[in-house]
């Protein structure tokens, strides 16, 4: 987990993608220390402290949206490797997994459910277990993620209420936790997911997934500018847009990573066969239009809420 938000001089949270790489004028919301935007190619873009890292960030004691950009469900490297192997050998074929093949960590993870109706009994991948291997359909991913998002939001709200009632010394910390989480949720809700088909002058066909908060035509102009350095002419077709579905972008990339088609430093492009793209489109189109609830509407209605930065390290 990385810190993705800093605070400007007005107390407004600023997302890492909205600033240039390098040392910034933003401060850490937990300690007030200066922040540097890290925008390399290996790790996700994030903020790092320009000087010593405070405890909250060093210990990753800040909230993040469930399954937004990490899908390993806190498995150890060994268990994750085994889970992927079990999926390729058993899960994708709808075979039951023998208990003897599972480690204690996988048995406790809740990623596999025991099927007691088969003889001999065994374990099968449930929806949660399909997420680390990218096997869960996009619509079902939404149905798993969304309840977890609101469960965590409620937990953070209750923590603020409890700290307020107790007049706890960590009240400011709890408030920052809540505001950071709401900022993350506000961002994904305000984004529209898009899927593009791109044809080039040399008859290549590839695809792009991404999110935008602006009109799609403005985003297409930027995509065209990115690609003219690699191709003489391009034709871009919008295959679909899904409002308020910014939560899906990173899981899409995880699910279809084997089809990734980097173009120079551009990494959001994919190469699908004509049959594969039909499957992808079906996957996307199975997502129903997002119906915002009152909590989500209230969060979207907030414009640049201000927070008070802590100064203790």
Q: b vs e for 163-186, b when ≥16 Cβ sit within 10 Å of the residue's Cβ?
A: beeeeeeebbbbbbbbbbbbbbbb
Domain final residue, candidates 32, 62, 92: 62
| Same domain flag for 213 and 250 | yes
- Please give the pLDDT value at position 313: 44
**Residue 309, in any domain of the structure:** no
What span, in angstroms and rounded, lies between the C-alpha atoms of 282 and 267? 23
Checking DSSP bridges between strand 234-242 and strand 192-200, what pairing results, if any? antiparallel
User: Which of 10, 27, 13 is CA-nearest to residue 182?
Assistant: 13
- Please give the pLDDT value at position 119: 82
- Please give the pLDDT value at position 309: 62
| Same domain flag for 103 and 41 | no
Q: What is the torsion angle, in degrees rounded to the nearest 10, for the CA atoms of residue 239, residue 256, residue 205 and residue 280?
A: -40
- Please give the pLDDT value at position 307: 67
What span, in angstroms and rounded, lies between the C-alpha atoms of 250 and 131? 12
| Same domain flag for 205 and 281 | yes
pLDDT beneath 50: ranges in the chain: 312-313
- Please give the pLDDT value at position 312: 46
Range of the domain at 82: 77-130
**Residue 295, in any domain of the structure:** no
What span, in angstroms and rounded, lies between the C-alpha atoms of 172 and 164? 9
**CA angle centred on 56, ends 50 and 58, rounded to 5°:** 60
What span, in angstroms and rounded, lies between the C-alpha atoms of 198 and 204? 8
| Same domain flag for 214 and 258 | yes
Sign of CA dihedral 3, 209, 193, 248: negative
| pTM exceeds cut of 0.85 | yes
Total of domains in the chain? 3
**Residue 185, in any domain of the structure:** no
What span, in angstroms and rounded, lies between the C-alpha atoms of 281 and 286? 8
Q: Note whether 147 and 162 are within 8 A (CB).
A: no
| Same domain flag for 93 and 16 | no
Cβ neighbours around 124 below 10 Å, total: 16
What span, in angstroms and rounded, lies between the C-alpha atoms of 207 and 261? 9
Q: Residues near 39 by Cβ (< 8 Å), separated by ≥ 6? A: 16, 21, 45
Domain final residue, candidates 62, 92, 114: 62
- Please give the pLDDT value at position 271: 97
Q: What is the torsion angle, in degrees rounded to the nearest 10, for the CA atoms of residue 158, residue 159, residue 161 and residue 167?
A: 160
Task: Give the sheet arrangement for strand 205-212, strand by strand.
Answer: 234-242, 192-200, 205-212, 269-270
User: Which of 251, 197, 203 is CA-nearest to residue 231?
Assistant: 203
**Residue 96, in any domain of the structure:** yes
| Same domain flag for 21 and 83 | no
């Amino acid at each position: 987990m990385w810190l993705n938000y800093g605070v400007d001089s007005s107390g407004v949270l600023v997302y890492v993608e909205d600033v240039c790489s390098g040392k910034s004028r933003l401060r850490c919301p937990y300690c007030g220390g200066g922040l540097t935007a890290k925008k390399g190619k290996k790790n996700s873009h994030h903020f790092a402290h320009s000087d010593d890292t405070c405890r909250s960030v060093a210990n990753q004691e800040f909230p993040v949206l469930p399954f937004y950009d990490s899908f390993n469900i806190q498995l150890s490297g060994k268990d994750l490797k085994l889970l992927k192997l079990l999926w390729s050998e058993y899960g994708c074929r709808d075979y039951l997994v023998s208990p003897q093949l599972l480690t204690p960590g996988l048995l406790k993870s809740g990623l596999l459910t025991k099927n007691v109706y088969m003889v001999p009994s065994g374990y099968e991948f449930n929806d949660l277990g399909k997420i680390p291997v990218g096997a869960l359909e996009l619509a079902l991913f939404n149905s798993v993620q969304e309840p977890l998002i609101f469960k965590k939001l409620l937990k953070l709200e209750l923590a603020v209420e409890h700290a307020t009632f107790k007049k706890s010394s960590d009240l400011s910390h709890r408030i920052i936790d809540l505001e950071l989480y709401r900022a993350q949720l506000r961002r994904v809700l305000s984004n529209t997911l898009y899927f593009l088909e791109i044809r080039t002058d040399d008859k290549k066909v590839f695809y792009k997934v991404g999110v935008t908060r602006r009109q799609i035509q403005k985003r297409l102009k930027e995509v065209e500018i990115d690609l003219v350095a690699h191709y003489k002419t391009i034709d871009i077709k919008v295959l679909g847009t899904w409002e308020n579905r910014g939560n899906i972008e990173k899981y899409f990339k995880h699910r279809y990573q084997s089809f990734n088609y980097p173009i120079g430093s551009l990494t959001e492009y994919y190469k699908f066969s004509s049959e594969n793209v039909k499957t992808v489109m079906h996957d996307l189109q199975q997502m129903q239009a997002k119906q915002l609830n009152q909590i989500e509407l209230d969060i979207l209605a907030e414009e640049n809420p201000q927070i008070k930065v802590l100064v203790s390290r």
